Amino acid sequence: MTINNYKLKKQISQKHLLSLVKYSREEIFEIIKYAAELKYLLKKGKTISPLKNKTVALIFAKSSTRTRVSFEQGVRQLGGYPMFLSSNDIQLGRGEPISDTVKTLERYNIDAIMIRTFNQSDLVELAEKGTIPIINGLTDDFHPCQALADLLTIYEHFGRLDNLKLAFFGDGNNVANSLMIAGAKAGLEVVVCTPKANAPQKEILELAKSFGNVSITDDVVEAADKANIIYTDVFLSMGQESDLKKKKSLMVYQVNSDIMEYADKNAIFMHCLPAKRGEEVTAEVIDGVQSVVFEQAENRLHAQKAVMALLMGEK
């Protein structure tokens, strides 16, 4: 089955979005197709309210522009109430068990939690100890909402998800992990181009390979050759800014006009933002005609709305 012959059902069997590991190909297609519909309705000025009278707690242990704004706007646009909670506002991480946090929030009629934090294990514990949906806004291991927005962007641009090659350049980080899993399940060929020292975690890589066509290389020409999508992310994640050795080793994988020349002539450039021009990508590329980074950023809103509507709406 491809996304082109998938029929929207407006329901999935999942209760949480911790990662995309347990999501089927059909469930990923469901989110993408529903996100496209929600985007169309918003552009036409039409509203639906599957989150009417529902409150979503937005917990941020890591700061963010796109995650906070897109989730707050998304909850509002679906008729619900967003409640922003920074790490300075709550006791999570100051000694209070995670189980106590989720059980307390449930007693205050919180209907779901979106959390952007460090440890994937924190999300797993929230899901195990609570009864409400838990949504991963980013952890050190995974960034599923970004990958879903990326698939939506690719689908809009090419009209399909199968038989396309996505080449990711840079650190084998949480974005790369989620792209490998989501891309493989959706039918893309995903190539991660990185130094061996910065390759994705072995267990995540092997898992992604079990879902579809995923490979690792340190050869930039091999990775970029005939690629339909060229993708990169910041070389140094939050908290790694002082690692100059890592930065130097990754500069070989900078996306520039030479890399784009090896790609398909109709290739697009993607970046999850924020970007550092002159490091992982040149200004010529990210500000050029092949760049779709702002469409990609907008699609975070629509993909996350679809996730929340499917997880929190009436079953």
Give 153-162 pLDDT, tens digit per residue. 999 999 999 9
The percent of residues in the chain predicted with pLDDT above 70, rounded, is 96
pLDDT score of 88: 77
What's the residue count for the chain?
A: 315
Q: Are 150 and 234 in the same domain?
A: yes
At 63, the pLDDT band (50, 70, 90 cuts) reads confident
Q: Which of 66, 68, 116, 271 is catalytic?
A: 116
**Could you confirm whether 122 is annotated as catalytic?**
no
Q: With b meaning 16 or more CB within 10 Å and e meaning fewer, what string describes 260-277?
A: bebbbeebbbbbbbebee
Q: Are 175 and 114 in the same domain?
A: no
Q: Are 243 and 104 in the same domain?
A: no
At 242, the pLDDT band (50, 70, 90 cuts) reads low
**Could you confirm whether 143 is annotated as catalytic?**
yes
Please state, rounded to an integer, the average pLDDT across all residues of the chain: 95
pLDDT score of 241: 65
**Could you confirm whether 146 is annotated as catalytic?**
yes
Q: Which of 146, 254, 296, 304 is catalytic?
A: 146
Q: Are 156 and 291 in the same domain?
A: yes
Q: How many domains does the chain fold into? A: 2
- Check: pTM over 0.95? Answer yes or no: yes
Q: Are 281 and 173 in the same domain?
A: yes
Q: What's the whole-number mean pLDDT along residues 246-270?
A: 96
CA 113 – CA 11 distance, rounded (Å): 19
CA 181 – CA 204 distance, rounded (Å): 8
Q: Are 120 and 156 in the same domain?
A: no
- Record the tokens describing residue 74, joined without a space: 């998304």
Q: Are 50 and 168 in contact (CB under 8 A)?
A: no
CATH value at residue 152: 3.40.50.1370
Domain that holds residue 175: 146-297
Q: Are 165 and 217 in the same domain?
A: yes
Q: Are 174 and 106 in the same domain?
A: no
Residue 82, classed as helix, strand or coil, is strand
Return the H-helix or E-strand segment holding 243: none
Q: Are 174 and 62 in contact (CB under 8 A)?
A: no
Q: Are 245 and 117 in the same domain?
A: no
Q: Which of 122, 141, 150, 233 is catalytic?
A: 233
